[in-house]
Structure formats: C-alpha cells, structure tokens
C-alpha cells in the first residue's frame, strides 16, 4: 500500500482523480493539498500538517497558487530527505518548455492530463498501477 499526495488546486481535477482511483483502494490513502505552500507544509510536516504521513508518490500540478509547481518540484528534489519520493508532474500543459523544465528539475515523469475522461482515468490508473505494482520504491 502506498500513500499518494495530490497537489492540485482545481476541485474538478481532484474529483476526477478521486473518481479515477475509486475502486483501486488508493483513494483512502490519497491526501490532497490545494496549493504549493500547503504542499511544502505537508511534506515538511509544518502548520496544520504536523501529523502528515510522508507520501510514497507525489502527483504534482504545475500551475498552482502561491508557490508554483516548479518551485515545489525544485525544493523537493533539492532536499536530501524528500528527493527520493517520485514526483509525477500531472498537468494540462503540453508546452515543450514545461516538459523540459520539469525533467531538468528531476521530475520522475511528466504526464499531460488527457481531455478525454476515459483516457484520464486510464492514465491515473496506469500511474497508480505502475508505482504500486511495477516499481520498487525505497523502504520507509
């Protein structure tokens, strides 16, 4: 069982992600934060998140209020404790520069949210499946 942190400001996307993960058993382990600052608080167990559980996987939107997704990515990958956590950038942007920039910052994967809902569900389940069943993650 892995814990996932979803960093997503759009309630619609949160809902869709939750729907996509429904039935996979992940939903209960899904933590959601709405902006970059909260994401960092969550990861560093600050403020309201002192009891937070360090996630096994981070699904990160780029276009976030307060602290941009890129900034969150940069800080996570710069931190020796956090950088082991795989980060999947899950965003609407198809812009090449976003892709390049994300990988420059050591994102583990870059996924563009499909327009088609069925596709979206498929993609989210793929990600989940991949990180739960296929990959081996560092032990905590």
Partner 1 sequence: MTQTQTVTGNTRWDRVRQPRVWGVHGRIAAALVVVVALLTGVVTAAVVTLLETRQVQREVVRDYYTGLRSSQNYFIGMLDSETAIRGYALTHDKASLKPLNESGQPWAHPVSGDLSKVLPDTRAVPKMQEAEEAARIWYEDWAAPMIQLIDSGANLTPADVNEGRRLFDNFRSAYTETINTLRPEREKAAVHLADVTNLGFAIGVLSAIICLIAGLVLWILMRRWVSRPVAFLAGEARIVADGELGHQVIGIGPPEFVQLGADVEMMRHRLITEVEQAEQARRETLQARAILEDQTQELQRSNRELEQFAYVASHDLQEPLRKVASFCQMLQRRYGGQLDDRADQYIHFAVDGAKRMQQLINDLLEFSRVGRLSAPSADVDLSECLENALLNLETAKEESAAEITADDLPVVHGEAPLLTQVMQNLIGNAIKFRAGAAPRIRIAARRDGEFWEFTCSDNGIGIEQEYADRVFLIFQRLHAKEAYGGTGIGLAMCKKIIEYHGGKIWVEPPPAGPLAQPRDGVWQPGQDGPGTTIRWTLPVSSDLKVLELEPTVKVTR
Cβ at position 33, least distance to partner 1 in Å: 19
Ranges assigned E (strand) in 12-126: 30-33, 57-60, 87-91, 109-112
Nearest distance from residue 101's CB to partner 1, in Å? Answer: 9
User: Half-sphere exposure of residue 133, counting CA atoms within 13 Å on the CB side?
Assistant: 9
Cα–Cα distance, 6 to 3 (Å, whole number): 10
Nearer to partner 1, 95 or 137 (CB): 95
* Closer residue to partner 1 (CB): 31 or 63: 63
Query: Rounded to the nearest whole angstrom, what is the least distance from the CB of residue 114 to partner 1 in the complex?
Result: 8
For partner 1, the closer CB: 20 or 76: 20
Instruction: Using CB under 8 A, list all residues that contact partner 1.
Output: 10, 12, 16, 19, 63, 91-97, 113, 115-118, 120
Pair 74, 103: CB distance under 8 Å? no
Residue 113 near residue 91, CB atoms below 8 Å: yes
Nearest to partner 1 of 12, 80 (CB atom): 12
């Amino acid at each position: 069982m892995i814990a996932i942190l979803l960093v997503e400001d759009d309630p619609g996307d949160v809902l869709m992600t939750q729907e996509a993960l429904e039935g996979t058993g992940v939903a209960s382990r899904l933590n959601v934060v709405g902006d970059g600052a909260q994401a960092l608080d969550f990861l560093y167990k600050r403020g309201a998140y002192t009891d937070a559980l360090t996630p096994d996987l981070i699904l990160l939107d780029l276009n976030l209020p307060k602290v941009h997704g890129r900034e969150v990515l940069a800080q996570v990958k710069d931190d020796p404790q956090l950088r082991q956590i795989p980060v999947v950038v899950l965003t609407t942007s198809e812009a090449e520069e976003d892709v390049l920039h994300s990988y420059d910052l050591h994102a583990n994967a870059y996924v563009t949210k499909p327009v088609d809902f069925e596709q979206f569900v498929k993609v989210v389940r793929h990600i989940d499946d991949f990180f739960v069943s296929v990959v081996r993650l560092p032990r905590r």
